[in-house]
A and B are shown apart, each in its own frame.
Chain A
Amino acid sequence: MSVLLAVDMPYWLQTILRVLGGTVAVLLPAGTIVYVFLFKMMSFMQSRLGPMEAGPYGAFQLFAEVGKWLQKEDLYPDRADKFIFKIAPIVVLTSTFLLVAVVPFGPDAWFTNFEAGVFYALAVSSVSVLGILIAGWASANKYSLLGGLRAAGQLIAYELPMVLAVIGVVIQAGSMNFQEIVVAQNAGEIFGWNGIGNPYILTQMVGFIIFMIAVQAELTQTPFDMPIAESELVSGYMTEYSGFRFLMFFIGEFATAGVFSLIAAALFLGGWGIPFAWFGWDSMDSVDNWMNIVGPLIMFTKMMVLSGIIMWVRFSYPRFREDQLQKFAWKVLIPVSLLNIMATAILKVAF
């Protein structure tokens, strides 16, 4: 069934390949999102051109920016808790790398095929909260402190609707394994018609919307960006960071957007698969090998669509106040997602 597994690679080579692949899977979406959406789409929305000088249509602007950040001095405040201050961005970025480990990109193109993948993904996504909280605390800055506390409150509040939104998918697929969820969507059928499989965005529309809102809050993107809030808290928990460490926060922000889009694509949009009926496949074992090449491209396309929506919302909305945000999470999102779980469970038993 698989070329990749047929080659008998030593363990160290597999590990190196996985680390390299993971780095690409995190940094490539991040770079693409920054260029396509942050530099270009935002500029066009604001009736300007965006970067045009570095490379064709400013395509190498990000490399120039990274070069600039790497040259900057590694500053830290005098009264900062230096060790904590220095590791905070690494903690944030680590959570992104941990997150991408369970995302499947093809029938065999995965980093780990973990049984409780969904559970794991939701668990490690909270690690970034810790990084943000310690960044806010260690900066010895009042704005950073306020930003870090806001971030902690917000991320904890939005963790819950995200988990609850995903439970609907888990119930419907009957598995917590990302591969099985993807297969269940592509091999599925809608009332006997298997032309497009059964992407869960159709049956779990409510869950999808709640998941995307929660992702928006989890990423601290604009309607929910009080932890950063340029006009209030200067830059929130990132205020004191410069140079390389700021770059890590910056990459972490957009890489996490990409990875969450990948997860949403796997959970709701059918992941790497194309409807199995098109090629007469019926299960995982009969999927052709070329899906290992096409799968990542399909995932990338879906990631771009979803992160495009995230960024689109980010560039067009004002931000909530944090009490309004908490109200929205606890009074709207959580009840609705609980109802969604109930409906899914009842329908699952009924059919």
Chain B
Amino acid sequence: MTMLGDRQQLAYIASQAADARVNVELETEGMTLNIGPQHPATHGTLRIICRLDGEQVVWAEPSCGYMHRGYEKLTEVRTFPQVTALVNRIDWLGSFANEVPFILAAEKLMGIEAPPRAQVIRTILFELSRIANVGLFLGDLGVQLGAVTPVFLAFRDREYVLNLIESATGGRFHPNFDRIGGLKDDLPAGWIEETRAVMKKLQGFCDQMEDLLFGNEIFLARTKGIGIIPRDVAMQYGLSGANLRASGIDHDLRRDTSLPMAWNKADWKVWTHTDGDAFARCWVRLQETRESCKIVEQLLDVIPSGPIMTKVPKIIKVPEGEAWVATENPLGEMGYYVVSKGDLGPFRVKIRSASFNNMSVTPWLLKGVYVPDVITILASLYFILGDLDR
């Protein structure tokens, strides 16, 4: 057995201490980066707390609620017809689509159904608001990845859609046009021809976006293989909309549920993608915009004649009961669980908005990615702050 001499032992301890000191000195400290609440990539006031190791995210958590407006509570002190004025501010880019599920739920409780003409026009306006919403997404995607030009093209062509919505409903952003039992007004004269022309322009816009972004090598390098959500994870986190379909799950409420709407009168396709990455999500949304244009074009040919409003009492009292109606909104599945006690207003409304569930996957998804990819992933998940916080 060898014994260390005093000198040797001291030298050994000294070397150990030196090693330890070097280790302490070299151990790089992580950095907490608050992306938001005021940040260009968060579309408003979302805060994402990231622990960074260099440029790599080791831990991330979204902190939402900075824009909470309490719509669920506010609906309890409104009458049923008044609620639409509130809820179309949830997803402010496709606001007409927010009104529809609530109105459908109220109609379900009352046991009435809108006349066929109103159903078709509702569906057309629904799809127009989807185009207005997703069209802006396509442009905004470029900005998030550093290309400044696409967003202006998106704003330009979205303006045509907003003009259509405005001429039909009177409101560009917040139509408040849907009524229990039908619609507020009929379409103005010349609207159908105008819409046909605009749909042609928008098909061109989609082609332009495909050329400008989806064929760009840098765009492909930035989105392919980034933020992959596998099929089972997408289902576990309750994703919906294009985020779900990009993970290879063929699920679209417009096709899969039988609501009193007119989607089944048109011939269209539900696009899915197998990759589940950022590119797939963007690509599915691009195809959906095209399909929406197709739906609108076909439905313009089949608008039946007839009344725009069914018979409803002047003062609407919804009978006691509970109803759940969900539709495939621009951002994903949006549903209202309406509880009525037979009063003028709802007793309780639970709003299921798509962005909230879509955002819930981010802590899982952002682990280990680089800071620039955080932005890509957030952009491709596509949330609207109003929809996230309600």
Contacts and interface: CB of A to CB of B under 8 A. Distances in A.
A80 B110 CA distance: 64
A233 B146 CA distance: 11
Contacts of B41: 231-232
Interface in B346-388: 370-375
Interface stretch (A101-109, A203-211, A321-329): A321-329
A146 B143 CA distance: 20
Contacts of B31: 142
A223 interface: yes
A60 interface: no
Contact of B149 (A142, A233, A316, A320): A316
A315 interface: yes
B198 to A, nearest CB: 16
Nearest to A224: B146
Contacts of B33: 142-143, 146
Interface residues on B, range: 20 to 34
Nearest to A48: B152
A71 to B, nearest CB: 24
B375 A231 contact: yes
B40 A315 contact: no
Contact of B147 (A232, A318, A324): A318
Contact of A223 (B152, B218, B371, B375): B218
A103 to B, nearest CB: 30
A229 interface: yes
Interface in B144-164: 144-149, 152-153, 156
A276 B190 CA distance: 67
B149 A315 contact: yes
A230 interface: yes
B375 A316 contact: no
Contacts of B153: 46-47
Contacts of B371: 146, 232-233
Contact of A231 (B146, B149, B370, B373): B146
Given A46-B152, A142-B31, A318-B216, A222 B372 contact: no
Interface in B212-266: 212-213, 216, 218-219, 221-222
B370 to A, nearest CB: 6
A232 B55 CA distance: 12
A36 interface: no
A312 B153 CA distance: 16
A19 interface: no
A233 B55 CA distance: 12
A300 to B, nearest CB: 27
Interface string A149-190: 000000000000000000000000000000000000000000
B200 interface: no
A173 to B, nearest CB: 34
A223 B374 CA distance: 18
Nearest to B370: A321
Contact of B222 (A47, A146, A318): A318
A315 B375 CA distance: 20
A317 interface: yes
Contacts of A142: 31, 33
B222 to A, nearest CB: 6
Contacts of B149: 45-46, 315-316
Contacts of A46: 148-149, 152-153
A42 B148 CA distance: 9
B39 interface: yes
Contacts of A223: 146, 218
B152 A318 contact: no
A230 B370 contact: no
A218 interface: no
B218 A318 contact: yes
Nearest to A228: B146
B136 to A, nearest CB: 15
A46 B145 CA distance: 17
Task: Specify which of A316, A318, A322 lies most central, judged by the most chain B CB atoms within 10 Å of its CB.
Answer: A318
A96 B104 CA distance: 65
B152 A229 contact: no
Interface of B: 31, 33, 39-41, 55, 142-149, 152-153, 156, 212-213, 216, 218-219, 221-222, 370-375
Interface of A: 42, 45-48, 142-143, 146, 222-223, 225-226, 229-234, 315-324
Q: Rank and list the top 5 A-B pairs by shortest CB-CB distance, nearest first.
A: A319-B146, A46-B152, A318-B145, A318-B147, A318-B146
12 contacts: A222-B146, A222-B148, A223-B146, A230-B146, A231-B40, A232-B41, A233-B371, A315-B149, A316-B212, A318-B218, A321-B372, A324-B222
